[in-house]
Structure 1
Amino acid sequence: MALVKAGVVVLDCAEPEILAEFYKELLGAEETAVAANRVEIRGADGFRMAFRRDVNATPPSWPRPENSLQAHLNFVVDDLDEAERGVVGLGGRPLETKDAPGPYEERSFSDPAGHSFTLLRNASAAPKQG
């Protein structure tokens, strides 16, 4: 038996309404709760995120070491190029990082409030040909 039930990922930011809109579009989500200092959304697959107002929020500086990684999200996509165009069109910014080791191709971005996230190409279960 689990000690806790799955919760919600909460990001602090200066403008929760704006950041919620970014992630609503990115995830095809809907708003489920809105309060003076918090907006919560839920994606079609049940994934939940909330955005809490913190007027003193400082964006993470990742990949630079000062004020580095505060939270990091990974999203799986089928087409990295298409997903990147969508992220940038919504106001996300690409982050320059070294190529990550491992079997997955990935690209890192920051949302409009500066939180970092990574798009990971959905790895095919089929063996590589050639």
Structure 2
Amino acid sequence: MALVTAAVVVLDCAEPEKLAYFYRQLLDGEPGDTSTGHVEVRRADGIRIAFRRDGVSTPASWPRPENSLQSHLVFLVDDMDEAERRVVGLGGLPTETRDPTGPYEERGYSDPAGHPFTLRPALPTAG
């Protein structure tokens, strides 16, 4: 039996309900467990992310060098352009885009609360 059965990333933010809505729409998720005091989003495939209220939360300044990147999320997507339209339509902001295409293309964004994340193309599975 595995000692750890699940992991949940928890992001601090000033307005967890609003940020949960952003990620619920981005991930096609559903509201999750709130018994811990966090606002959670979960998907049927087991992906879970939660948000904790922090009244003094400030956005990260990444990718600016004066504030190092402590952590960020990476989402693998089938269609980079469609994913970008969804992110921006939900209130996310582009922070870094790269011109080259191919399996190493990635685009950086911040969510409405300023947390950094990256979109990368999902690589096709062999078979």
Name the TM-score, length of structure 2 as normaliser.
Answer: 0.86
> Partner letter of residue 114 of structure 2?
G
For structure 1, the 5+ residue unaligned runs are none
* Aligned twin of 1:14: 14
For structure 2, the 5+ residue unaligned runs are none
Q: Deviations over 1:22-75 (max 9, x none)?
A: 000000111123369520110131101100000111111111123332321010
Which stretch has the larger CA shift, 28-37 or 84-93? Answer: 28-37
Question: How much has 1:125 moved relative to structure 2?
Answer: 5.0
Question: How much has 1:114 moved relative to structure 2?
Answer: 0.4
Report sequence identity in percent: 66
What is the root-mean-square deviation in Å for CA atoms of aligned residues? 2.3
> Match of 1:34, SS?
coil
Q: C-alpha separation between the residues in 1 aligned to 2:66 and 2:35?
A: 32
> Match of 1:109, SS?
strand
> Partner letter of residue 10 of structure 2?
V
Q: C-alpha separation between the residues in 2 aligned to 1:98 and 1:84?
A: 13
* Aligned twin of 2:63: 63
How many residue pairs get matched? 125
Question: How much has 1:11 moved relative to structure 2?
Answer: 0.2
Q: Which runs of 4+ in 1 moved over 4 A?
A: 97-100
Name the TM-score, length of structure 1 as normaliser.
Answer: 0.84
